[in-house]
């Protein structure tokens, strides 16, 4: 029904529009016809009046011509003139004779009166000076003589448009000339204007051009004006009247367009209270100019016609509206009734809630579809109905076939005339609301207790809510900040532009994240990592802003520490090896032509001292030694601190003896007794020296040669100065011999490649392998890399060796590809080789011809132990390789030159933690800290992390906990020939190491709890390490926080049902205060030993408990 009504509504509207359009169209057509009949009649009258005026002139002139031609004297004169007899005499005679007639003609508006012979204008009364001019062959006068009849029409005389009558002079059949009369159009205009209430004018319309003969005078006082690029001309008062007409007409463009058309037309318009009718009769056509006779008269009948037709139209539309409104309202009423009925049905049927209607006797007379949808069939419904009807509770639960819902019950009796007619039962489904309420409460609790600070604001930055972490980090209580602006947290570190950029990002992208400095309640400034995002309403418009932040003070400290480690020794704050080499290179460049000594200082026996007395005492001694050396240095000298007991000095040398005295002075300063913690120590120092330019100018080589010299000094008994000399040259000769052997080995292809797998414990698969070289010598057998790689480094054959390795590695890639293994192979490339154009071109050429589709199987490993002299060029080359699919990694990260410089400047994908940090990280806190910092740094730069030297499951567990999940080492597999590698690949992926790791790491939670227990062991190790020495509160707090955070959060969720776990938590919490007392030296001496024994027992107990609950 609704559909039908909708269609009728449109039909009524269309029919109304059509009938209204018909009425208006009919009246417009009738009006146009009536107006056209008026125009036809009026234009005919105008044309008749115009022609009648012309005929009047013609009758008058015919009479005058007959009079002139009846004069014998005139005839005789005209004949003699044609025979050229006494021309001047006859011109005077005729002028005198006809002058009176000329005066009469002029009064009547005749502006042209000429007597012409057969060739010339013999006598021109209007312009006598032109008498005798040649008669134009195409003029109407000439045509009249040829035709021997009267010829009339428009002509130009002296730039004036006139209407001429040309009467031929014919005597006895012979034409002797012609008499020409011409009157101006102005004369006709004046005659027509004698009619009352009608004004006539002659109007010329056309385009102005220099050669256009229509630039004529209608009379002596002609003028013109422009309208819409059309030139309009009229004379005298007519011009002013024409201007008035044009300016008064509403649509000037329409008027000028019609004027330019050259056709007859009419227009009417209203001026003030009068209507005017304008008739335009075209009387002389031309290509671009038209002469119109214009008749303008008041036309009150037009206003009467318009009012009559408007009245008829309004009445017609009015009655049409009444008719169709009645029809529409009738249909609207029926439509509303149908709509109400349908809407009621749709509402009840679409209700997800249950609607049940009972009659006065309690019998069901209606229930909506949701009832049966839930109860499945009528039997279930009937069974539960009695419970529903009898229930007095507002909240009830109903279960059908295991599906349970909670409802809000509402019953209402329908009373009509005091009598109960029906009962309506409404069951509102509140199951989801209850669930959502619980979820909301859970979400709120999660947010409230989230370790990240959370703040919610309105669009003006007014704080609406914060969580517990916010109050903990900022120091503000919740009630202190709600209703305040977030600007209370501003630190003053950032300018307005910084905050403008933040809110521009939030407005445009809906989110901003980055580092920011804020201020606590106590005015302490701290760094945080902040994310701001927008919460939108249901219309997609911003409603709230949410800020989520974590304090990153510790991370900042790590970054600063790592930055310091990158360039300076952590203990003495002197330049480290990398920075010293860089400074030495500049020192050599700045002192060209001077001798420079590189002096390598190595404390004798210090390694054993370090092992025996520990790092703390050793660092204090090293600091005292560096403080003794620095005052002795010359102003231009460079001092570096490489390792624990290695110092290197670069100094300008004027005299070798002077240099020896200088170094002896340093030796003596070092030898003086050193007191640390009340104990006195003495140390000697061996010094190796090499001098530039006697030695080469490579800073690495100079340091290496000085180091070789110090080895000689130690071999000769220590505590002495040794210069790099011939003995070392012999060693160099040995090096040259080795290099020659290596070169032969390259030619004979004695070097073979082994592959050591990299295993991802998360994915449980081999994700790559490192290419390792082995030398199979024909007489010496298998030679390990440690016996030939040092000779190759920085040698002339280094690039050739790398080229050989790369070539063989590419062969391995082909072999693996043929076996269906798309494993990424890591190829070690030295910095020197990386910048060598020959090697780079070789790699490019091989890729284009052979390995185009296998570039993703290649990873370039940059060896960090030697510095890259041109980081920009290296970045460009590695960037090129990276784009075609190569992986880029830095090997031995943290041991030499790379660290921040490499990771920032080069397109590195992967960072490899050097095995020297990994192997003993569980027993050496320094190595553990360095490993942790490297992992943190790699993650901060979004780099993949690989750990080398993973040899046991405990180390793997600790690395995994720190965030590294790719391992390389003997725990996974030793380096293997390529054929054995293929077998190992399948074993690792299928069972072997995957199974071992699977058994050990049953799930992530096992790793977590193992690391938690291990963390406790580290705390106990700290106790043994510090003993009664200074206590590092930050280290302890970080370890204990990480452990207890896991125990109270993830640990509880995983093992809360196990009694053993409850005991672990209780025992750890009980020991916390005791541990802090021991560390701070506040624990009673007589109880310390017993407590340490108890801790050791607790450690063993925790490990056993861990094994049981896992």
Nearest to 1009 by CA among 997, 1001, 1019, 1018: 1001
Cβ(252)–Cβ(267) below 8 Å: no
Write the CB contacts of 459 (distance below 8 Å, at least 6 apart in sequence): 542, 543, 544, 545
* Adjacent-strand bridge partners of 799: none
Per-residue HEC secondary structure of 401-414 comes to CCEEEEEEEEEEEE
Active-site option among 765, 948, 954, 1076: 948
Exposure b/e, 1049-1080, CB count within 10 A at least 16 = b: eebeebbeeeeebeebeeebeebeeebbebbe
For residue 139, the 8-state DSSP code is: S
Gap between the Cα atoms of 80 and 67, Å rounded: 20
Cβ(467)–Cβ(449) below 8 Å: yes
Torsion of CA 186, 190, 192, 195, to 10 degrees: 160
* Adjacent-strand bridge partners of 551: 528
Does the bond joining 923 to the residue before it have cis omega, within 30 degrees of 0?
A: no
For residue 581, the 8-state DSSP code is: H
For the record, the structure tokens of 1090 come out as 């017993």
Cβ(74)–Cβ(115) below 8 Å: no
Burial class (CB in 10 A: 0-12, 13-18, 19+), 993: buried
Nearest to 764 by CA among 1005, 1004, 998, 947: 998
DSSP class per residue in 248-315 = HSS-HHHHHHHHTTTS-EEEEEEETTEEEEEEEEEEE--SSEEEEEEEEEE-HHHHHHHHHHHHHHHH
Per-residue HEC secondary structure of 1023-1092 comes to HHHHCCCCCCHHHHHHHHHHHHHHHHHHHHHHHCCCHHHHHHHHHHHHHHHHHHHHHCCCCCHHHHHHHH
45 φ, ψ (degrees, to nearest 5): -60, -45
- The CA-CA-CA angle for residues 188, 190, 194, to 5°, reads 115
* DSSP SS3 for 934: helix
For the record, the structure tokens of 847 come out as 């890729």
Nearest to 601 by CA among 625, 584, 572, 583: 625
* DSSP SS3 for 318: helix
Gap between the Cα atoms of 411 and 394, Å rounded: 9
Question: Which residue is associated with the tokens 């002296």?
Answer: 158
Active site (annotated) includes residue 932: no
H helices within 697-852, ranges in order? 699-715, 726-747, 789-792, 798-818, 831-834, 837-849
For residue 42, the 8-state DSSP code is: H
Gap between the Cα atoms of 700 and 896, Å rounded: 12
DSSP class per residue in 149-213 = S-EEEEEEETTEEEEEEEEEEEETTEEEEEEEEEEEHHHHHHHHTTSTTEEEEEEEEE---TT-T
Gap between the Cα atoms of 876 and 861, Å rounded: 16
* DSSP SS3 for 921: coil
Question: Which residue is associated with the tokens 């990386």?
Answer: 834
**Catalytically annotated residues:** 948
């Amino acid at each position: 029904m609704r559909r039908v009504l909708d269609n009728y509504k449109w039909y009524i509207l269309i029919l109304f529009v059509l009938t209204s359009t018909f009425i208006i169209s009919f009246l417009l057509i009738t009006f146009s016809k009536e107006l056209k009949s008026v125009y036809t009649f009026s234009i005919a009258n105008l044309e008749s009046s115009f022609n009648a005026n012309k005929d009047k002139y013609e009758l008058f002139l015919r009479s005058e011509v007959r009079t002139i031609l009846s004069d014998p004297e005139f005839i005789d004169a005209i004949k003699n003139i044609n025979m050229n007899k006494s021309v001047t005499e006859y011109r005077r005679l005729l002028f005198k004779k006809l002058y009176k007639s000329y005066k009469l003609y002029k009064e009547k508006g005749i502006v042209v009166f000429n007597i012409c012979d057969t060739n010339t204008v013999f006598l021109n009364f209007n312009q006598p000076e032109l008498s005798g001019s040649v008669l134009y062959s195409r003029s109407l006068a000439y045509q009249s003589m040829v035709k021997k009849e009267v010829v009339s029409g428009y002509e130009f005389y002296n730039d004036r448009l006139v209407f001429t009558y040309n009467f031929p002079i014919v005597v006895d059949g012979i034409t002797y000339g012609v008499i020409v009369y011409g009157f101006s159009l102005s004369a006709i205009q004046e005659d027509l204007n004698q009619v009352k209430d009608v004004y006539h004018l002659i109007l010329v319309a056309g385009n102005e051009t220099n050669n256009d003969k229509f630039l004529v005078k209608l009379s002596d006082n002609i003028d013109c004006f422009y309208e819409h690029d059309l030139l309009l001309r009229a004379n005298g008062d007519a011009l002013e009247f024409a201007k008035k007409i044009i300016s008064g007409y509403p649509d000037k463009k329409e008027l000028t367009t019609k004027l330019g058309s050259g056709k007859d037309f009419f227009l009417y318009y209203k001026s003030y209270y009068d209507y005017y009718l304008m008739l335009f009769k075209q009387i002389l056509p031309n290509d671009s100019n038209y002469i119109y006779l214009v008749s303008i008269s008041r036309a009150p009948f037009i206003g009467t016609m318009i009012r009559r037709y408007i009245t008829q139209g309004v009445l017609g539309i009015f009655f049409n509206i009444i008719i169709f409104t009645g029809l529409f309202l009738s249909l609207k009423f029926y439509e509303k009734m149908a709509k109400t009925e349908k809407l009621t049905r749709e509402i009840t049927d679409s209700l997800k809630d249950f609607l049940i209607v009972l009659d006065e006797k309690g019998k069901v007379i209606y229930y909506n579809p949701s009832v049966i949808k839930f109860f499945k069939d009528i039997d279930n419904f009937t069974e539960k109905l009695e419970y529903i009807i009898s229930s007095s509770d507002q909240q009830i639960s109903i279960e059908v076939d295991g599906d349970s819902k909670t409802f809000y019950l509402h019953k209402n009796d329908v009373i009509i005339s005091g009598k109960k007619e029906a009962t309506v039962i409404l069951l509102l489904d509140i199951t989801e609301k209850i669930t959502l309420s619980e979820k909301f409460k859970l979400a709120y609790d999660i947010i409230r207790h989230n370790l990240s600070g959370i703040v919610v604001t309105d669009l003006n930055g007014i704080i609406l809510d914060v969580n517990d972490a916010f109050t903990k980090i900022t120091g503000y209580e919740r009630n202190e900040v709600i209703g305040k602006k977030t600007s209370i947290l501003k630190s003053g570190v950032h300018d307005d532009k910084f905050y403008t950029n933040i809110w521009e990002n939030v407005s445009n992208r809906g989110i901003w994240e980055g580092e920011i400095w804020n201020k606590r309640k106590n005015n302490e400034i701290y760094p945080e990592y902040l994310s701001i995002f927008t919460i939108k309403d249901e219309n997609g418009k911003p409603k709230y802003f949410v800020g989520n932040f974590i304090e990153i003070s510790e991370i900042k400290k790590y970054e600063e520490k790592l930055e310091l480690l990158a360039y300076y020794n952590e203990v003495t704050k002197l330049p480290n090896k990398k920075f010293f080499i860089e400074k030495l290179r500049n020192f050599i460049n700045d002192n060209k032509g001077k001798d420079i000594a590189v002096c390598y200082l190595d404390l004798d026996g210090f390694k054993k001292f370090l092992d025996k007395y520990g790092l703390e005492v050793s660092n204090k001694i090293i600091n005292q030694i560096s403080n003794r050396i620095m005052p002795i240095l010359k102003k231009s000298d460079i001092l570096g601190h490489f390792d624990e007991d290695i110092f290197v000095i670069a100094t300008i040398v004027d005299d070798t003896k002077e240099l020896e005295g200088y170094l002896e002075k340093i030796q003596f300063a070092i030898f003086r007794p050193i007191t640390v913690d009340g104990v006195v120590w003495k140390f000697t120092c061996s010094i190796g020296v090499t001098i530039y330019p006697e030695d080469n100018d490579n800073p690495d080589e100079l340091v290496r040669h000085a180091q070789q010299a110090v080895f000689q000094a130690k071999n000769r008994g220590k505590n002495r100065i040794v210069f790099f000399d011939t003995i070392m040259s012999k060693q160099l000769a040995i090096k040259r011999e080795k290099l020659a052997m290596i070169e032969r080995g390259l030619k004979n292809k004695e070097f073979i490649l082994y592959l050591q797998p990299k295993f991802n414990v998360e994915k449980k698969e081999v994700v790559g392998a490192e290419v390792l070289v082995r030398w199979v010598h024909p007489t010496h057998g298998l030679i390990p890399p440690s016996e030939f790689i040092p000779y190759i480094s920085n040698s002339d054959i280094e690039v050739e060796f790398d080229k050989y390795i790369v070539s063989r590695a590419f062969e391995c890639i082909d072999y693996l590809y043929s076996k269906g293994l798309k494993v990424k192979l890591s190829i070690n490339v030295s910095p020197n080789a990386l910048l060598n154009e020959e090697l780079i071109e070789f790699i490019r050429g091989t890729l284009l011809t052979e390995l185009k589709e296998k570039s993703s199987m290649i990873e370039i490993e940059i060896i960090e132990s030697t510095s890259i002299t041109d980081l920009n060029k290296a970045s460009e080359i590695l960037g090129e390789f990276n784009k075609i699919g190569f992986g880029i990694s830095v090997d031995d990260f943290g041991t030499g030159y790379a660290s921040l410089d490499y990771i920032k400047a080069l397109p590195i994908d992967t960072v490899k933690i050097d095995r020297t940090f990994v192997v003993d990280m569980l027993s050496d806190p320094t190595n553990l800290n360095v490993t942790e910092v490297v992992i943190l740094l790699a993650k901060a730069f979004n780099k993949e992390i690989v750990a080398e030297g993973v040899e046991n499951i405990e180390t793997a567990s600790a690395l995994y906990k720190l965030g590294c999940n790719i391992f390389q080492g003997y725990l996974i597999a030793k380096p293997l020939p390529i054929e054995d590698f293929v077998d190992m690949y399948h074993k690792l992926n299928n069972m072997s190491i995957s199974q071992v790791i699977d058994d050990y790491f049953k799930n992530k939670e096992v790793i977590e709890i193992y690391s938690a227990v291990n963390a406790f062991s580290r705390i106990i190790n700290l106790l043994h390490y510090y003993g009664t020495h200074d206590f590092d509160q930050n280290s302890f707090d970080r370890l204990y926080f990480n452990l207890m955070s896991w125990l109270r959060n993830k640990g509880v969720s995983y093992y809360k049902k196990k009694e053993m776990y409850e005991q672990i938590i209780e025992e750890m919490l009980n020991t916390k205060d005791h541990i802090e007392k021991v560390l701070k030296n506040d624990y009673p001496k007589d109880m310390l030993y017993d407590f340490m024994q108890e801790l050791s027992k607790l450690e063993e107990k925790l490990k056993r408990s861990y094994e049981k609950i896992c």
